[in-house]
């Protein structure tokens, strides 16, 4: 169970980008964070594994506060949080298999990880995961030669290699075509159920969120304006989530 309590973050003094953000995400469910661009979706997601340092609040993963963790604790916690990105962020010249094996780096000694010393068990597990996401034939191909949808599936396999409790997905389908989108989202939903993972996902596309998410967190200008099951999302609630700030509307008229 992931509990985020009263999270604050401001990048500069004038503007606070997260204001007392609180929500929960349960294992076995897909939790989607939705809202207009610039609302703070990415900031929330990246605070959860502390790629962005927030200012105040609590982030409890199975009752352990990530924000209090020291350097080595943080490394251990991150090892159990997979993350996939809009731009996949694979190491292009390396093979798909090696990119999946990178999922083990958090569990290895610095030295063994540096030199890429992986055991046969690890290699076989990586190959098995690639097979699970339908990429068995591409294991030894360079990642920059794969299509976007294939690269995102390698990203998922890399996250699974971490034996995660949770997978964070930062706009995972924003660069994908409809067919790959469906494939990737199907895999993510299936994983949540079969492995009882917490899947926390940032989405720009409302229709995808409504189709795939069990639990929805709506955010507007750094404040949570909705949290609840997908079916509770009424048109009024949607309007509150996607409401444009009034000052912006005025400038838009001026132009």
Of the residues 68, 124, 196, 234, which one makes contact with other proteins according to CB under 8 A? 124
**13-21, 24-32, 58-66, 187-195 -> range binding other proteins (CB under 8 A):** 187-195
Tell whether residue 92 is a contact of other proteins (CB under 8 A). yes
42: Cα separation from own chain's centroid: 9
Q: Which is nearer to other proteins, 6 or 186 (CB)?
A: 186
66: Cα separation from own chain's centroid: 16
Of the residues 114, 117, 240, 249, which one makes contact with other proteins according to CB under 8 A? 114
Tell whether residue 94 is a contact of other proteins (CB under 8 A). yes
Pair 217, 23: CB distance under 8 Å: yes
Tell whether residue 28 is a contact of other proteins (CB under 8 A). no
> How far is it, in rounded angstroms, from Cα 139 to Cα 141?
6
Of the residues 5, 51, 174, 206, which one makes contact with other proteins according to CB under 8 A? 51
Of the residues 18, 59, 176, 183, which one makes contact with other proteins according to CB under 8 A? 183
Q: Which is nearer to other proteins, 201 or 241 (CB)?
A: 201
Tell whether residue 95 is a contact of other proteins (CB under 8 A). yes
**9-17, 118-126, 202-210, 239-247 -> range binding other proteins (CB under 8 A):** 118-126
Name the burial class of residue 152, with classes exposed (0-12), middle (13-18) and buried (19+) by CB atoms within 10 angstroms of its CB.
buried
For 8, residues 6+ apart whose C-beta sits below 8 A from its C-beta are 16, 18, 19, 20, 21, 54, 55, 56, 57
| 6: nearest Cα among 60, 67, 56, 63 | 56
Q: Which is nearer to other proteins, 154 or 233 (CB)?
A: 154
The β-bridge partners of 59 are 4
Rounded to whole angstroms, the maximal C-alpha distance in the chain is 64
Q: Which is nearer to other proteins, 93 or 245 (CB)?
A: 93
Pair 181, 188: CB distance under 8 Å: no
Instruction: Give the number of residues in contact with other proteins, rule: CB under 8 A.
Output: 53
E-only strand ranges, 125-246: 166-170, 198-203, 215-220, 223-229
The three-state secondary structure class of 165 is coil
Tell whether residue 217 is a contact of other proteins (CB under 8 A). no
| 9: nearest Cα among 38, 35, 37, 47 | 47
**116-124, 199-207, 221-229, 231-239 -> range binding other proteins (CB under 8 A):** 116-124
Tell whether residue 62 is a contact of other proteins (CB under 8 A). no
Residues that bind other proteins (CB under 8 A): 49, 51, 74-79, 81-83, 85, 87, 89-95, 97-98, 102-103, 105-108, 110, 113-116, 120, 123-124, 127, 131-134, 136, 139-140, 142, 158, 162, 168, 183, 186-187, 190, 194
């Amino acid at each position: 169970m992931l509990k985020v309590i009263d999270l604050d973050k401001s990048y500069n003094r004038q503007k606070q980008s997260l204001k007392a953000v609180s929500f929960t995400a349960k294992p076995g469910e897909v939790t989607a964070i939705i809202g207009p661009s610039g609302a703070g979706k990415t900031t929330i997601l990246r605070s959860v594994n502390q790629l962005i340092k927030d200012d105040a609040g609590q982030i409890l993963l199975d009752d352990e506060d990530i924000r209090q963790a020291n350097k080595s604790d943080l490394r251990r916690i991150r090892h159990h949080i997979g993350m996939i990105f809009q731009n996949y962020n694979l190491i292009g010249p390396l093979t798909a298999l090696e990119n999946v094996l990178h999922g083990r780096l958090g569990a290895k000694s610095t030295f063994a990880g540096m030199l890429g010393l992986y055991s046969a068990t690890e290699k076989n597990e990586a190959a098995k995961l690639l097979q699970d996401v339908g990429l068995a034939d591409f294991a030894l191909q360079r990642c920059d030669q794969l299509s976007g949808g294939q690269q995102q599936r390698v990203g998922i396999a890399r996250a699974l290699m971490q034996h995660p409790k949770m997978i964070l997905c930062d706009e995972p389908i924003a660069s994908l075509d409809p067919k790959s989108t469906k494939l990737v989202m199907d895999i993510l939903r299936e994983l949540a159920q079969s492995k009882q993972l917490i899947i926390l996902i940032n989405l720009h596309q409302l229709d995808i969120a409504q189709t795939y998410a069990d639990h929805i967190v709506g955010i507007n200008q750094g404040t949570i304006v909705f949290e609840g099951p997908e079916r509770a999302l009424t048109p009024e609630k949607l309007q509150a989530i996607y409401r444009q700030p009034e000052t912006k509307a005025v400038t838009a008229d001026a132009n």
